[in-house]
Amino acid sequence: MTWNFDPFVPNARMYSYSVHPFGVKWLEKRLDLFDQLEGPQGVSVVEFEKRLAEIRLEFKRALAEEYMSHWPGFDYTKLLPPEPSKDHLKIALKVNHSIIPSYYFLTRNMA
């Protein structure tokens, strides 16, 4: 399902964007799942914290991918300033071509 609004809206600062207000509401509804994530049992505290951090990062990436799936082929380079740095271009192009299996992660860890 595609949405008929842009995923990001400009802020007061030039070339700075926020998630669209409708997108914020959509994300808020899904953030309760974040608190339900658990680390592995029977491991040291250090290993538990490390693995839990990895699981949370995977969850956030999957949630971002699921959000952006409402705008197939969104061109992130249009959010860049007129003369973007090489790093900005590299990141925008990387994001444009990334594929993250969001639904797989969300369903695998919420069972």
Which pLDDT tens digit goes with each residue over 73-111?
A: 888 878 888 888 888 888 777 776 554 433 334 434 433
Which DSSP string do the residues of the chain spell out, in sequence order?
A: ---SS-SEEE-SSTT-EEE-HHHHHHHHHHTHHHHT----SSS-HHHHHHHHHHHHHHHHHHHHHHHHTTSTT--GGGGS-SS--HHHHHHHHHHHT----HHHHHHHH--
Whether the predicted model's global pTM rises above the 0.85 cut: no
Give the residue, 60 or 107, on which the prediction is more confident.
Answer: 60
Listed by start position, the domains of the chain span: 19-73+100-109
Mean pLDDT of the chain, nearest integer: 81
- Residue 102's nearest CA partner among 78, 72, 67 is 67
Give me the pLDDT at residue 86, please: 87
Total count of residues recorded for the chain: 111
pLDDT at 55: 92
